[in-house]
Structure 1
Amino acid sequence: MTKLITIIGATGIQGGSVVETLLKNPAYSIRAITRDRNGKSAHALADRGIEVVEADLNNVESLHAAFASSQAIFAMTNFFDALPKLGVEKCMEIETQQGINLANAASATQSLEHFVWSTLPNSQRISGGRAVVPYWHSKARVDEHIKSIPMLLQKTTFVWFGWYAKNMEYPWYQPSPVHQGGPEKHYIQLLASPSSVRVPMVGDERTNIGLFVNSILEQPEMTLPGKYVLATAEDMSFAEIVSAFAAAKGLGVVQHVRVTREVYIKLWPLWADLMDDTHLYFELMADKSFSGEEAILTVKDLGVEGLVGSAEAFKALKLIG
């Protein structure tokens, strides 16, 4: 008999990757949660025989109905969904409340055996307040709520996903062409951080997120109760990231150029400010960026196989312009 897993954000990056992986696992049947059952992506899931249910993360009652009879739940929130419209503080408030709603609905699901919560480290606690990453902090507050519900904590695995390869599609990361008269094309990447700053990478998020979640679900004796999983495939500096991206896309010479935070923020208002908070945290905490919890499992502990690295994933990304 198959187990029913309910997947939040099934039409997005994280949930979509989980769907793709678990479709290949005969142990599970899938219920996909979406905000709009009539959307193109939702119809595409239904056409593949997946049960599609509409629910609102701001409405606990809709989540109660969506989670009914589930043995497993993959839960996540999207801080960035309304960022341009609502701003950082409001998005933090909304994300925390949505995470609490998910946890409360999961705790009321009698059939539940495994709750996989996509979160990020408590940057404020780890850095001693020196670098607080807003979209990490709003998720970490949900962790504390889960820990206040003993029965739910016993069924929970917390998972930290590293930096996506897809992030290189954003203009504040992608190299920009420099116009010059020579035969070789030159590009620059502008950041307010040193190129030596190292970033924990999940690699190809389309593939690897689902592989990690599948491994978590298949090894409950290891991932429960209340364990943390660091879902990363590699560790790369910004210099290595942009070099690998340039090689994958056939770019010419790429030079990392460090600018002031003020200049960086003026180039990409709101987004650059938020991203530089993350970069500063990585710079200050280095190899302790993903820490602060007693039991943290890694790719080696879980024995995850088939992971696709960032260099390979870069080949499929779009170039701006």
Structure 2
Amino acid sequence: MVAKKLVTVVGATGAQGGSVSETAKALAARGVEVVRADLTDTAALKAAFAESFAVFAVTNFWGLFSAAQKQFPEEKDVASLAGHAAAIETQMGINMVDAALATDTLQHYIWSTLTDAYTVSGGRIKPPHYESKAQVTRYIQSKPELLAKTTFMWCAYYATNFASLTRPIYVPATGRYIQIQATTSNQPIACIGNTRSNFGTFVEAALVQPDKTRGGQTVFAFVERTTLGGLLRTWAEAHNVKATYIQISRETLFSSWPMEVQEYTNGMEFWDMIRDKEWTGKDSLLTYSDLGIDVTTLKSVKDSFSELELQSLRKGWNSGDERWLDCI
């Protein structure tokens, strides 16, 4: 009888972790133990990781950013709030790395991260929600014993972004929806579609092909490459409506939208700057074709969009809205 291997999933109820492990309630119903661990407590993490064969680790910048706004309601400087959230996120990531280093049974560590925007852009742009994860990645790279067991995982653009920050707005006078952004409609973008349905397939593929994915290799999880304008067209087709992409200045956009839009736009400006260049800065990326994943069996971007509720003009979105936590 083959011994069971323990896979520990951080954030099992979130969009990424939920895709890896389903929701905690469903897991508990199947007899899987659900353990709460404070990511700021390294000792608790060591206990949670004990006996693990593999660990999937993820942090949530946007939840921390939302919490920072509530903690400091008088603070209007987005960079300050984002920096506060980023510092906490980085420490959480480092704590998980330290816990992983103390887990002698560990054979595979999967860190859900983002590209090192500052390095790849030659220092031209440094979005806090990218830098916070990149610092953890660099920390892992400084630990050869863990790097040898590590896969870096990038999750592409969530379809659920269209249900919150980038939600198309209906204009009754024209009978069309408009989507307002600060970057161009021809900006290249990769999309994972329905994160909860699709992302776990990439993590599973990484786990069962360790010789290909460990050693600091990067897996880029997406089901379709397109442009920002292409995403909007697909969304419109999914709902059988008409939609127009409108680019405005970042200053105008920032003056009218929640704080999250500034941090989000920093990330979009990085992708617009880099476009089709090598995003890791030096190493190649492993995609679905490298991992033998048939993306036609996954939920398409169009089908993912069709699951989202059409929002009326009256249904606005505000900073602190919990829907944000399932996006980006």
1:130 aligns with 2:124: yes
Contact conserved, 2:170 with 2:311, CA < 8 A, in 1? no
Deviations along 1:74-96, one digit per CA (max 9) or x if unpaired, are 00000011213422011110011
Aligned to 1:271: 260
- Of the three residues 169, 174, 177, the one matched with 2:170 is 177
Q: Deviations over 1:142-191 (max 9, x none)?
A: 01111111111111111111111111111x311111122x7xx2121111
- Show the counterpart of 1:297: 286
Residue 94 (structure 2) pairs with residue 104 (structure 1): no
Tell me, in whole angstroms, the C-alpha distance in 1 between the residues paired with 2:184 and 2:158.
19
TM-score by length of 2: 0.87
What is the TM-score normalised by the length of structure 1?
0.88
Deviations 1:221-262 (A, max 9, x none): 1112121111122111111111111111232x2111111111
Match of residue 5 from structure 2: 3
RMSD: 1.5
Does the 8 A contact of 2:193 with 2:299 survive in 1? yes
The CA deviation string for residues 193-233 of structure 1, in whole angstroms up to 9 with x for no partner, is 11111111122211221000000000011112121111122
What secondary structure sits across from 2:31 in the alignment?
coil
Aligned residue for 2:299?
308
Q: Which residue of 1 aligns with 2:153?
A: 159
* Aligned counterpart, 2:30: 48
Alignment partners' CA distance in 2, 1:239 and 1:197: 8
Does the aligned pair in 2 maintain the 1:281–1:289 contact within 8 Å? no
Name whichever of 207-216 and 128-137 sits farther off.
128-137
User: Which protein, 1 or 2, shows the higher relative CO under an 8 Å CA cutoff with sep ≥ 6?
Assistant: 2
Shift of 1:289: 6.4
Q: Which residue of 2 aligns with 1:285?
A: 274
Structure 2: distance between partners of 1:293 and 1:312:
34
Q: How does 1:203-282 map to 2 (within 5 A)?
A: 203-251=193-241, 253-282=242-271
Q: Are 2:66 and 1:84 aligned?
A: yes
Structure 2, unmatched stretches of 5+, are 69-80, 313-328
Q: Aligned with 1:118: secondary structure?
A: strand
Aligned residue identity for 1:190: I
Q: Deviations over 1:96-155 (max 9, x none)?
A: 100000000001001101001101110001011222222111101101111111111111
Give the letter for the 1:84 counterpart.
S
Give, in whole Å, the separation in 2 of the partners of 1:287 and 1:89. Answer: 28
Name the structure 2 match of 1:68: 50
Take 1:157 and 1:83, find their aligned partners in 2: how far apart are those partners?
26
Cα offset for 1:5? 0.1
> Which of 88, 91, 105 is the equivalent residue of 1:94?
88
Segment drifting more, 204-213 vs 82-91: 82-91
